[in-house]
Chains A and B, each alone.
Chain A
Amino acid sequence: MKGFLFFRLFLRDLKKQRKKITLTTLAIAWGTFSIVMLLAFGEGLKNQMSKANSGLGKGICIMWGGQTTIPYQGLGKGRRIRFTEEDVELLKSRIPEIENVGGEYNRWEIAMTYGKKTLTERVNGLYPCYEEMRSHYPEKGGRFINDLDLKYKRRVVFLGNELKERLMGNEKNVVGKTIIINSIPFTVIGVMREKLQMGAYGGMDEDKVSIPATTFKAIWGYTYFNNLVYQPKDPEKAEQVEKEVYKVLGAKHKFDPEDERALGIWDVINQAKEMNKVFLGISIFLGIIGGMTLLIAGVGVANIMFAAVKQRTREIGIKMALGGKRKDIMSQFILESLMIAFFGGGAGIVFTVIIVRILQAIPIQSEGLQFLGKPTISWDVMAVTIVILGLVGLLSGFFPSRKAAVVNPVESLRYE
């Protein structure tokens, strides 16, 4: 009944100050909406970016040969450093912190034909470890290059999904079909599953044609890899592993481990980490903007409650005369402002969820929007928002209620 009476009080207040209360409730709803929505967009962008980042590879470093810039052990500078299969084996055996290493051969402007269509494209010679390391996952029904392909130098090809479209159109079930590469027939074993890729070297993976490294070598007679890709066991230790790589390869190729230009290493792991920091920054910034909006709305609620205290001095006096304590007097105002905060906040959250659902249901077509991603409501954000709402409600009720608690009952009951 106490709660019921309180609710009646609230409704009466609502009627008396309908405009003001509606406005502040809306302000709270708007503040909540902007916090949750902004952070939902931030979260969506972050998810999409980390997906795009892992499109290039998860926890990898990409390495290529360079030129020495420091004379070493009697050898002058300006020597080219290049890698072979031996180096791959060396890294595998000498650095236990490396989970996986693979090299790749590249060749540009290779003619390939399917039916009447001929394209001139880039061909890669790859190892099976690229499936995991470089996210070359096959669409259903297909597969990536395996050890047997490598062993028997099979003439099999794994196609980038975009290139497949260009070469073979929207033909389905292309696995098992034959395409002619460099006048040699190759059997299609798989098409790459569509992926979001941010960051690339030598073109996007969706545009590439991959064949077993051994087949590649047999056709074009390459000795040196164009790139190596390795994956540290512990992504946190990428920098340590990098130092090891310089040491091990420096010893073999006779360059100073301090000679940074002898190798090029692109630390994709670190880049992802840096990006996460940027996104954390963006989230904090967006959160602060939303929080400010809520704070301003909170001042509005406090204003209403101050007015309510003034209007209700007589009622406060009556309650005191009947034995109401400080907490009884104060709790009414605090509960009322909490209620406004949670009504408004609830409305804001519901509104956000609806908008986010709608946005998630709309298919994304354009490339740019694809990177923006879809707004995603994270539960962390929700929890933080609710806590902030609670605080705003509590504080905007607390200060006015302190005024109520010091009402002089004798004064307030004296006049009609």
Chain B
Amino acid sequence: MIEIIGMTKVYTTGKVNVEALRGIDLKIEKNDFISIMGPSGSGKSTLMNIIGCLDTPTQGEYHLEGMKVAELDPNRLADIRNQKIGFVFQNFNLLPYATAFENVEIPLIFKGDSFKKRKARTEELLEIVGLKDRMDHKPTELSGGEMQRVSIARALACNPSIILADEPTGNLDSVSGAEIIEIFVDLWNKGHTIAIITHDTKISSRTQRIIKLLDGMIVDGGGA
């Protein structure tokens, strides 16, 4: 469902060019469960942002479910992020002034669902991550593990084809981290496609495939 051929990404900051990705070839099939590992600065987040259609590559091809992403207009890309991609971030990226319910609801608002539909779906999602009784709490009233579960619920809102998680346990203690891992494994078992960036071998050991990145290149695990 995802195919990347010869992808490069160069960041230009002032006079310095940073080659974040230097020729990536990658295939991810439906219901794959992969982890991406590599030292800090090796280009993991950059790769994930491009896969998630938040960023565009400098060169190379990216096919998502048969679509050439480079040819899509901004509104179409927004729709893809809304309905085909679910992001989970290391620092959660929840809206601080909104409740758990409202945070999970946001993608559904962008999708254009009716209030009734949104309410039902949001409650269902919070149920899945075990936070139904916390839906009126704001992020500051939740623990790190709970915040990450809210953001997983939010990522799942529009039932995306692929979930992209960038160091989802990076800010969590080991107990909460373990809980989060179980949620991902569970989702994989239910048929979701998942890519997790991590430094944690406890996570990578649970995945089907480990992709190792170094200096913007895949050194291990690229082929399907």
Contacts and interface: CB of A to CB of B under 8 A. Distances in A.
A322 B89 contact: no
Given A12-B97, A318-B93, A326-B75, A410 B54 contact: yes
A320 B98 contact: no
A322 B91 contact: no
B44 interface: no
A413 B87 CA distance: 12
Nearest to B52: A321
A320 B81 contact: yes
B81 A1 contact: no
A321 B102 contact: no
A326 B74 CA distance: 8
Nearest to B75: A325
Interface in B68-120: 74-75, 78-79, 81-83, 87, 89, 91, 93-95, 97-98, 102, 105-107, 109-111, 115, 118
A355 B154 CA distance: 52
A328 interface: yes
A1 B118 contact: yes
B176 interface: no
A409 interface: yes
Nearest to A329: B78
B55 interface: yes
A325 B78 contact: yes
A171 interface: no
B49 interface: yes
A298 to B, nearest CB: 27
A328 B107 CA distance: 11
Contacts of A1: 102, 105, 109, 115, 118
A78 interface: no
A203 interface: no
B106 A319 contact: yes
A222 B53 CA distance: 102
A323 B75 contact: no
Given A314-B93, A409-B54, A410-B54, A322 B74 contact: no
A319 B82 CA distance: 10
A324 interface: yes
A364 interface: no
Given A1-B115, A1-B118, A326-B75, A321 B106 contact: no
A320 B95 CA distance: 13
Contacts of A322: 81-82, 87, 106-107, 110, 154
B102 A324 contact: no
Nearest to B171: A416
A315 interface: yes
Given A8-B97, A315-B95, A410-B54, A323 B110 contact: yes
Contacts of A12: 97
Contact of B81 (A2, A9, A321): A321
Nearest to A327: B75
A252 B33 CA distance: 114
Interface in A301-341: 314-315, 317-326, 328
A321 B54 contact: yes
Contacts of A317: 93
A320 B49 CA distance: 12
Contacts of B115: 1
Contacts of B91: 416
Nearest to A415: B91
A358 interface: no
A321 B110 contact: no
Contacts of A324: 78, 110
Nearest to A318: B93
B75 A5 contact: no
Contact of A323 (B83, B89, B93, B118): B83
Given A321-B93, A323-B107, A5 B78 contact: no
Contact of B54 (A5, A320, A325, A416): A320
B89 A328 contact: no
A9 B106 CA distance: 13
Nearest to A328: B110
A410 B53 CA distance: 10
A284 to B, nearest CB: 44
Nearest to A8: B97
Contact of A413 (B81, B89, B107, B111): B89
A314 to B, nearest CB: 7
A414 B78 CA distance: 19
Contacts of B102: 1, 5, 8
Among the interface residues A5, A9, A326, which one has the most CB atoms of the partner chain B within 10 A? A5
18 contacts: A1-B109, A5-B98, A5-B105, A5-B106, A8-B97, A8-B98, A321-B87, A321-B93, A322-B87, A322-B106, A322-B107, A322-B110, A323-B107, A323-B158, A324-B78, A409-B54, A414-B45, A416-B91
Interface of B: 45, 49, 52, 54-55, 74-75, 78-79, 81-83, 87, 89, 91, 93-95, 97-98, 102, 105-107, 109-111, 115, 118, 154, 158
Given A322-B110, A325-B74, A410-B54, 10 more contacts: A1-B102, A8-B98, A318-B95, A320-B54, A321-B81, A321-B93, A326-B78, A328-B110, A410-B49, A416-B91
